[in-house]
Amino acid sequence: MAESAVSSLVVKLAMYVENEVKLLKGVCGKIEFIRDEFESMKAFLKRAESSQEDDPELRVWVKQVREVAHDTEDILDEFMLNFARDHGHGFIRYFNKIKSSVQNLKARHRISSRIDDVKSKVDSIAERRRRYNFIEQCVISSAGGTSWHDPREDAFLVEEGELVGIDKPREELIKWLVDGEPGLQVLSIFGMGGLGKTTLANRVFDNQRVKTYFQSHVWITVSQSYEVEDILRDMIEQLHGEIEQPTPQGIIRFLQQKRYVIVLDDVWNSGALQGIKNAMSNSNICSRIIITTCMVDVATVSFNQSKFYELKHLSSEESWSLFCKKAFYENPCPPYLEHLSRQILKKCEGLPLAIVAIGGLLFGKDVLEWEMISRSLAVELESNDMMQNFRKILSLSYNDLRYNLKSCFLYLGVFPENHVIGCKRLIRLWIAEGFVGQRYLKELINRSLVQIAKTTIDGRLESCRVHDLMHECILSKARDENFVSFAYEQKVELHERVRRLSIAYTCNNSLKQLNLPTLHSLLIFESATSSSLDEQFVPSGCRLLRVLDLGDSPLHEFPQQILVMFHLKYLSLRRTKVRIIPRSIGKLQNLETLDLKQTLVSELPVEVTKLKKLQYLLAYSYVAFTPSRPFRSITEFLAPQGIGTLVSLQKLCYVKAGGHRNKNAMQELGELCQLRRLGVMDLKKDDAKELCHSLTKMTDLRSLEVVAESEYEVIDLDFLSSPTPSFSLPHWLPLLNNLTNVRLKLSRLKSSPLVAFQNLPNLVELLLDNAFDGEKLVFGDRGFPKLKELRLLDLQNLRFVLMNGQAMPCLQSLSIYRCRYLDWQSLLVVIRSLTLLTYLRFQEMPEAFALAFYPYSSSKMMRKGILQECYEEVMERNPKVCFVWWEEDHWVWYDVSPHCYNAIKGRVMSRNEVLPKVS
């Protein structure tokens, strides 16, 4: 988007004016002029971009601004590229410096000439804005003068019989309105655009019980350009019209005497709600305010005794019912259209607005037209009036975003449809593109732009998937911004202005032939075939690349073309066959992310330490767990000497401790004070002291994983608290209050690690793998206040788990592996207190332990009295319970069904064993 391009450019121009422009004599004034003009454009663009859909001339102007901003940025990037060459050493350095100065004279002249061209374009664009008086047009538009009909108003025209899935929430909200506590209270109906918030609020507002119970009724559509005074004026006019007489005593005094209900529809800012709050009196009369909003921060704002109601997507049955109502006019779906209908409906993912729009579009069309629409929804979004309404409603949320978050949203357009996006990867890509920092991520999630499958309190995202139909809307906007995603074919021609490109399949074609001088990011997905020509995956003319993701491509060697990409910030070779990273990697001075996960790289050259901006260094592989590899599931890399100079590192996984070349590695880690995640493998007893010293300096550490060299290497981590080995967890660990994730492996502590861990205020995940040699784990009262996931592995001597008071109130997942002597009765009592527990996994545990968790008569005999009560209470909450064993050459999973119960008993009988008596 233009606002994003201009905003980032203004920052870069300011930097050049202050630091770099001295190398370009005679152009300082021109760059300052360009910067000042873009500053003026930036202030205007926010309104212009929200108004351009209804003004073709304004849309052309915005596009011109975006392109000249991109051109200017490319000129500055080329300038940096020319003056950032590595000249070598000694005589070679002297010779290269002379050669470079000659080349730089030509570069200065060329860049100066191009800046003249840009200045001329900027001047022309500014004059065009004044000539067509765009400012006045945007002011009129932002004041509510847009001409397009708001499709949300159609909620009032929908027949009652056409509504689906509304009965239950409507009755629940009506009951809350008329049976609630005294005093003024607020009900917030929250959800993404198109879920039917306005429809639900209208059906509640118009219900006869509500009409009768409340003496005064007001409905106000707030919109994005509200004024509190206008809202209050509208309120007075509606009240006056309802009672058909003036209210001389004033609105406040009037409402103090009435039981009223006020609906504020489409609230985008808590300021509107706050303004109403200040105007309303909190009397003892049961008055209510209902707000509808897409904004979670508005919905959850503290205001008296507020009720928060999140509107959910329709179920598959409800979606089908609504679709048939609209597409077949309440008739059954013809058998020959059912498959197509299901395919189309899947894209809607329970969004009522999408179902209504597409169903209405399909009504009365033949099967060929259905097939065409199914294949080309993106075209229909652009050209069909009914689908345009749907697109515009989704655009309301988009237009309200800040410019950097708009860029994040559009960036989803480079991912293929139905692609599952790793959110950690997505965050690093956003940062590399310059779109966003960590502080904006929570807002992006709250705006419901992507569906989050799993989150933790640290805002760490596991995975997300773009809504299928929303992806079509994203693509229509992303194309305007030169974000291109396509399946690569041999004769595809790309415009040279393409800046962000993703390729779904490389087939057998070489990307080397692509000449895209302005390309800033290239992502490759699902490479279908292998090739011996590793160079084919990197275009030759893309020297300005900032993001290069070659993950999953069949590379065997590090492509040499990468080494001239001075601006590169993000490089991923994940899941390739690359084995060696060249020493010349040190040329990539701007690299922030180096992702070598699941490659064959086991050692990094010392030149990596030249990458002073590196924030994420990932060089490890996961090895599938089998009984033959019970302790080692991760392979690490040998850190280069001097790794402590990489002071910008935030994530370092997984570094190998010890060894003659890595003797000082644990000590050097202490220089990495910005680390948020650290993984250390192969830790020896002699390394533990240095690691402890280093950890005390990492006050921002969120995630820590420490793995001993072997199960026989007893590690003492308490060097700092005791001069002699005490085989206990360090007393300094609780000082790392930011820790959210701790994984301790093979340390075989003699005293319980829970004592130190349970008071960590932000701990979300804890894994103890062969890390404790004791018989009893006791969870202290109020311990682990935010823990969500607990895994206990290979605690060979563990017999009892106990809880003193209440602990782990947020625990959702509990996994226990190979703790063969663990008493199931003590565990059941603990589980009873875990009211939020939804997942239980037991792996390689004794069959008698598993059978105790089945509800059938033979196992019920094991549970008596209080144990049976515990069991019934736990199972009533219906957690997912599974048992896992290795059988022959694979893992076999069992649930708590009768079939699995008999299968587990069969495991015992097949070995001619008798189940041990359980006391």
In this prediction, residues 138-152 reach a mean pLDDT of 43
- Answer for the pair 69, 45: CB distance below 8 angstroms, yes or no: no
Query: pLDDT band at residue 491, thresholds of 50, 70 and 90?
Result: very low
Query: pLDDT band at residue 722, thresholds of 50, 70 and 90?
Result: very low
Question: In terms of pLDDT, which residue wins out, 85 or 746?
Answer: 746
Question: In terms of pLDDT, which residue wins out, 356 or 777?
Answer: 777
In this prediction, residues 575-592 reach a mean pLDDT of 93
Q: What gap in Å lies between CA 404 and CA 46, rounded to an integer? A: 12
Query: pLDDT band at residue 861, thresholds of 50, 70 and 90?
Result: low
Digit-coded pLDDT (tens) for 41-52: 876 776 666 566
In this prediction, residues 494-506 reach a mean pLDDT of 72
**Of 655-669, 674-688, 883-897, which range is least confident?**
655-669
In this prediction, residues 813-823 reach a mean pLDDT of 93
**746 in helix, strand or coil?**
coil
Query: pLDDT band at residue 529, thresholds of 50, 70 and 90?
Result: low
pLDDT over 90 (residue 766) = yes
- Answer for the pair 31, 115: CB distance below 8 angstroms, yes or no: yes
Q: Which residues are registered as beta bridge partners of 749?
A: 772
- Answer for the pair 830, 779: CB distance below 8 angstroms, yes or no: yes
3-state secondary structure 432-478: HHCCCCHHHHHHHHHCCCCEECCECCCCCECEEECCHHHHHHHHHHH
Digit-coded pLDDT (tens) for 376-414: 665 555 555 655 656 666 665 566 666 777 777 778 778
User: Hey, how many other C-beta atoms are within 10 angstroms of the C-beta on 324?
Assistant: 19
Residue 98 carries which side chain, given as an amino acid letter? I
Question: In terms of pLDDT, which residue wins out, 628 or 326?
Answer: 326
Global pTM?
0.70
Digit-coded pLDDT (tens) for 216-238: 888 888 866 567 777 777 887 78
- Answer for the pair 813, 836: CB distance below 8 angstroms, yes or no: no
Query: pLDDT band at residue 581, thresholds of 50, 70 and 90?
Result: very high
pLDDT over 70 (residue 453) = no
Q: What gap in Å lies between CA 390 and CA 351, rounded to an integer? A: 11
pLDDT at 689: 80
Q: What gap in Å lies between CA 52 and CA 62, rounded to an integer? A: 8
Q: Token pair 């190398």 is at which residue?
A: 23
Query: pLDDT band at residue 298, thresholds of 50, 70 and 90?
Result: confident
pLDDT at 779: 92
Digit-coded pLDDT (tens) for 115-140: 888 888 888 887 777 776 655 455 44
Share of the chain above pLDDT 70, in %: 69
Q: What is the DSSP string of 626-683?
A: BTTBSS--EE-BBPPTTGGG-TT-SEEEEEEP-SGGGTTHHHHGGG-TT-SEEEEEEE
pLDDT at 148: 40
Question: 102-129 burial, b if ≥16 CB within 10 A, otherwise e?
Answer: eebeebbeebbebbeebbebbeebeeeb
User: Hey, how many other C-beta atoms are within 10 angstroms of the C-beta on 259?
Assistant: 15
pLDDT over 60 (residue 191) = yes
- Answer for the pair 825, 867: CB distance below 8 angstroms, yes or no: yes
Contacts 24+ apart (CB under 8 A), 28-36: 30/115, 30/116, 30/119, 31/115, 33/119, 33/122, 34/72, 34/115, 34/118, 34/119, 34/122, 35/10
In this prediction, residues 782-807 reach a mean pLDDT of 92
In this prediction, residues 512-516 reach a mean pLDDT of 71
In this prediction, residues 484-507 reach a mean pLDDT of 62
Q: Cα angle vertex 410, ends 409, 413, to 5°?
A: 115
**Of 60-74, 298-312, 764-778, 846-860, which range is least confident?**
298-312
| Residues 6 or more apart whose Cβ sits within 8 Å of residue 328 | 334, 363
Question: In terms of pLDDT, which residue wins out, 720 or 826?
Answer: 826
Query: pLDDT band at residue 724, thresholds of 50, 70 and 90?
Result: very low
- Answer for the pair 387, 361: CB distance below 8 angstroms, yes or no: yes
In this prediction, residues 74-101 reach a mean pLDDT of 59
Look over the chain and give the mean of its residue pLDDT values, rounded to a whole number: 76
pLDDT at 315: 86
pLDDT over 60 (residue 679) = yes
pLDDT at 726: 35
Residue 382 CB-density burial (10 A; 0-12 exposed, 13-18 middle, 19+ buried): middle
Question: In terms of pLDDT, which residue wins out, 440 or 882?
Answer: 882
Query: pLDDT band at residue 480, thresholds of 50, 70 and 90?
Result: low
- In CATH, the number for domain 166-310 is 3.40.50.300
pLDDT over 80 (residue 35) = yes
Domain map (residue ranges) of the chain: 2-145, 166-310, 316-392, 401-481, 774-919
Residue 419 CB-density burial (10 A; 0-12 exposed, 13-18 middle, 19+ buried): middle
Q: What gap in Å lies between CA 368 and CA 372, rounded to an integer? A: 6
Query: pLDDT band at residue 819, thresholds of 50, 70 and 90?
Result: very high
